[in-house]
Structure 1
Amino acid sequence: MRTDPDLAAEAARGSEAAFAELVRRHQARVRGMARRLTGSPAAGDDIAQATFLTAWQKIGTYAGGTFSAWICAICWREFLQVRRKTRPEIEFDETAEIIPFGAHGSRPTDQQDDRMDLSRALEKLSEAQRVCVVMCVAAGLTHREAAEATGWPLGTVKSHVLRGVEALRKHLAKPEVA
């Protein structure tokens, strides 16, 4: 089995098949990270697509280290670019209909409830905590890799992860367990 650095070197020489293999290996991590950063599957998928497009264009700059850290750093920068461009003013649609459960009036499943609870819990974190938790816990980067990707000090990343995970535990704790 070829390693990520070997595939990246082949891709840098123009091998679309090698790059396709890198995409296959890392797309779930990148999509998950982007979706959690944005809080939206559609926006996350757009960022993931932009991430891989940028990675293809810049594959020659990959200089070793873990490929997942390199691609997640690109994902982080793509997220920041989108966020800078789309800081919308909050507008309320007074005519919007409030739908209490699922789109067709059905009750969400337990698995959907769990995902919604996690999404709501992530939204309650500060942005810095959410970014660090998503990178280190969800995307599996080390604290050092997350620090390199964000440009934040290592101690800051560790602190945000620690506080963010603790806040998630408190928010997600079942009342009967506490």
Structure 2
Amino acid sequence: MEIFRLNRTEEHDNYAARFGASDGIILVFPLYTDAMPGIVMAFIEKLSPWIGRMKGKRLGFIIHSGFPEPAHSRYIQRYLEWLCSKFQAEYAGTCVMGGSEGLRYMNEGSMDNKRLLFNRLGHDFISRGRFSPDTLKRIAGKEKLPVAMRFWFRLTGFSNAYWDMLLKKNHAYDTRFARPYSVE
């Protein structure tokens, strides 16, 4: 198993060449404001020589985001399924995990369940060539938060707590509604 870090953009050509030589690939990336990061898209564009030439190869994806609901990532999931068809690769599935922004604040013990699920995901990819639908469902959790919880988030401002903390830490809280480019 090899790990390639796409933030090393000078290596994208090398990674793209190795992409087609691999039997199984899992591409992991975060979701930023409902979209695939540009650095990931730049890498995917480097893969154009492999279009239609990956029969018998498996391709899986893991998308994580700060949004608590996996519903935000389903549009990208559909794009990734389409991408597999363009490559003529076997689609191994897309794992969608919301709420990952908060993971760095969790203690090790509370991460055990997620770690076990991701280990199972990797095991399924190696042994079966695809992600288990049950494991994907367990990692994703509820597709949408219950209405009462969404209302509570809005009412209490809890959903903004993390961002407000960052704004205060960077002395930008008082200007959070600034519109420097507006024409009025």
Same fold by TM (over 0.5)?
Answer: no
Between 1 and 2, higher relative CO (CA 8 Å, sep ≥ 6) is seen in 1
TM-score by length of 1: 0.26
Normalized per residue, the structure richer in strand is: 2
Normalized per residue, the structure richer in helix is: 1
TM-score by length of 2: 0.25
